Amino acid sequence: MMARLITGWLVACCAVTPIAAQAPDLAMLRTLEPGAWTLRLRDGGSAQRICVRTGREFIQLRHRQPSCERFVVRDGPREVTVQYTCRGNGYGRTTIRRESDTLVQIRSQGIEGGAPFSIDGEARRTGGC
C-alpha cells in the first residue's frame, strides 16, 4: 500500500507537461540582403546566379523541389547547417557561414539522382533580381 502511495506521489509531483517545440527559424539567413547573388565554386567551375529572397535558396542548391523534408542541425548567429531529404531524388547537407550581409561561404554534399555531389563555394550579392 505504501509503495502505491509513493508511486502515485512521484507521478503527480514529477509529471512534466510537454511544451510545443519551436522549429529553428534560421534567423541568420534573414540578415542576408535580398537580390541577385553569384555562387562561385572553389574548384574553378562556372558561376551560378541565384535570386535570393529569404536566404533559404542556398540550402538546396541541387534539389530545387519544395517537397523536401528539412532538419536543422545547427542554427547559429553566423552559421547554419541543414540536412534535407527529397524522397525519390536524394538528400543533402548544407552549411552556410555568413561573412557579411552580402557574402557567405557554402558547403553542401549529398546524393542527387543516384550520384554524389559536393559543392564548396562562395556566394556574393551582385545586384537586384
Q: Residue 91's domain is classified under what CATH number? A: 2.40.310
Confidence of residue 35 (pLDDT cuts 50, 70, 90): very high
pTM over 0.75: yes
- 10 within domain boundaries: no
C-alpha cell at 94: 548544407
C-alpha cell at 41: 565554386
Can you name the residues that pair with 107 across neighbouring β-strands? 95, 120
- 12 within domain boundaries: no
Distances in Å between the Cα of 8 and the Cα atoms of 18, 33, 77, 97, 109 are: 19, 56, 45, 50, 51
Give pLDDT, residue 43.
Answer: 84
- 52 within domain boundaries: yes
C-alpha cell at 104: 557567405
- 1 within domain boundaries: no
Per-residue pLDDT tens digits for 61-119 = 998 887 899 999 999 999 999 999 999 889 999 999 999 999 999 999 999 989 999 99
C-alpha cell at 90: 536524394
Q: What total number of domains does the chain contain?
A: 1
Helix (H, G, I), strand (E, B) or coil at 29: helix
Helix (H, G, I), strand (E, B) or coil at 101: coil
- 102 within domain boundaries: yes
pLDDT score of 4 more than 70? no
Burial of 107 (0-12, 13-18, 19+ CB in 10 A): middle
- 114 within domain boundaries: yes
Q: Which domain holds residue 59?
A: 25-127
Give pLDDT, residue 7.
Answer: 46
- 41 within domain boundaries: yes
Give pLDDT, residue 75.
Answer: 94
- 3 within domain boundaries: no
Distances in Å between the Cα of 6 and the Cα atoms of 1, 12, 14, 82 are: 9, 10, 12, 45
